[in-house]
Structure 1
Amino acid sequence: MAKQDRAIRTRQNILEAAAVVFDQKGYDAATITEILARAEVTKGALYFHFTSKEELALAVIDAQVTQAPPMPDLPGKSKMQEMVDMGMLFAHRLADDALLRGSVRLTLEHGSTSLNRSGPFNGWTHLHTQVLVEGLERGEVLPHVVPSDTAELIVGAYAGINTMSQAINNRADLERRASVLYEHVMPSVVVPSVLARLDMAPGRGARALAEAERARETKVREAAAEAAEAERAGTPVGVA
């Protein structure tokens, strides 16, 4: 088990080091030598996990969706707020998540044609479609909405504002641009009663994380209280 855990950590370390190099240099200019130096691993260790630079780059690209933190399931939270939060949290995470930045650079850059860059687009479209379907079933989404079409529109538009923000100011205003996107799109997707409660303002990513942390702490306290109550109920009378 310890050996397996070590291998998992090594693989993740290589992925994160490669993401930094890809983000700085792009796919074509990045070299295995630079990735090895940053990861501080041997060539044998790298090739144990990845057979080529292309396979490593594809793993970085796929990590954008596969390693995205799960959306917190908060009591009373609408599915449409969950969909907005996917984009706002994405923008928030880009500030300090090197693996995500490297993945985005590889996904959006116009470089080598050998890389299959469709994974994140398909993955995010699938996730958005799922949330829209659930929102439709809950009565949060307007009846004319086609979930798959709307999902493709939102994911494509988000990729556009991401590219634009990167070109203009290194994504310093990405959350603002995402906020504007949702403010324009959501009125044509969401029923008015749900729309009125949506938080789409800049800074929503940080607020969503704070809400999730408060919910986690509440669950921990409730579990501790339940455990203490169960222990008291099972303690024999007269035993301290």
Structure 2
Amino acid sequence: MARARQERAEITRQAILDGAAAAFDATGFGSTSLSDVAQQAGVTKGAVYFHFASKEALARALIDEQFQTTDLIAGELMPGVQTVIDMGHRLAHGLRTDVRLRAGIRLVVEFGSFVDPDPAPYNSWISIVRDCLAPAQGRGDLFPEINVTDLATYVCGSFTGLQLASYVRTGRDDLHDRVTDMFRYLLPGIVPPHRLTEFEAAGSAKCRAKLGLSPLDAEQPTVRTD
């Protein structure tokens, strides 16, 4: 009986998160009420309060979920430059297909903007990217004079701007192309010339296969090595 109750509670909690994601994604944090969340989730407002003490707590749960996108990094023996590239494409895919991730990213942007800004989610992303780039620099995949924290900050800021512009311009239909462009232009400035051919700005074959993206044309240019 106890286990059955726990399972029902978890089903309800997930429904609430789905409903909150749909509501936040559609209208943003400020314009969404807990009544909107309850309606989207198909539950009572009391059920929402049972699982989440406030709208802020619900938003934080969705913000925290986005970092599950990086789970694959923990299993990589040698995280590095390609890991960061592939993570950009995984996020691009998630923003196009996963309303929870989309809502979480929107909430990060809203919470990190002008009213009582919260840098914590940005700092978390920067730390994740830096922890991939630091060992890559040790292997000679980055120029030794590069400050990896500054580079990680730049990559995270660039992705944030790209995905926002892509959303406004194309509904994120072109986001994979824009992420590819970002890394194609960036790589020659951070990777020694003799290492450039090791990295694919459009995502590794393994990443593209996992995301259901078309294989790369063998003749398609990647980055300049001159």
TM-score by length of 1: 0.76
Aligned to 1:187: 188
Deviates more, 1:127-136 or 1:6-15: 6-15
Q: Which has the higher contact order (CA 8 A, sep 6+)?
A: 1
Aligned to 1:210: 209
Residue-pair matches, total: 208
| Equivalent of 1:8 in 4, 7, 10 | 10
| Equivalent of 1:30 in 29, 32, 56 | 32
Which has the higher Rg, Structure 1 or Structure 2?
Answer: 1
5+ long unaligned stretches in structure 1: 214-240
* CA shift in 2, pair 1:22/1:211, >3 Å: closer
TM-score by length of 2: 0.81
How far apart are the structure 2 equivalents of 1:136 and 1:69? Answer: 20
* CA shift in 2, pair 1:41/1:50, >3 Å: same
Say whether residues 1:156 and 2:170 are aligned partners: no
Q: Structure 1: which 4+ aligned runs deviate by more than 6 Å?
A: none
Aligned to 2:143: 142
Q: Which amino acid aligns with 2:71?
A: P
How far apart are the structure 2 equivalents of 1:153 and 1:69? Answer: 18
- Deviation for aligned residue 1:10: 2.7
Q: Which amino acid aligns with 1:33?
A: S
Contact 1:22 1:102 in 2 (8 A): yes
5+ long unaligned stretches in structure 2: 213-226
Say whether residues 1:19 and 2:18 are aligned partners: no
Say whether residues 1:200 and 2:201 are aligned partners: yes
State the Cα deviation string for residues 68-102 of structure 1 (Å, max 9, x = none): 25226568x76211111010111012111010111
How far apart are the structure 2 equivalents of 1:12 and 1:24? Answer: 18
Aligned to 1:227: none
RMSD: 2.6
How far apart are the structure 2 equivalents of 1:206 and 1:94? Answer: 20
What is the 5 A alignment of 1:45-56?
45-56=47-58
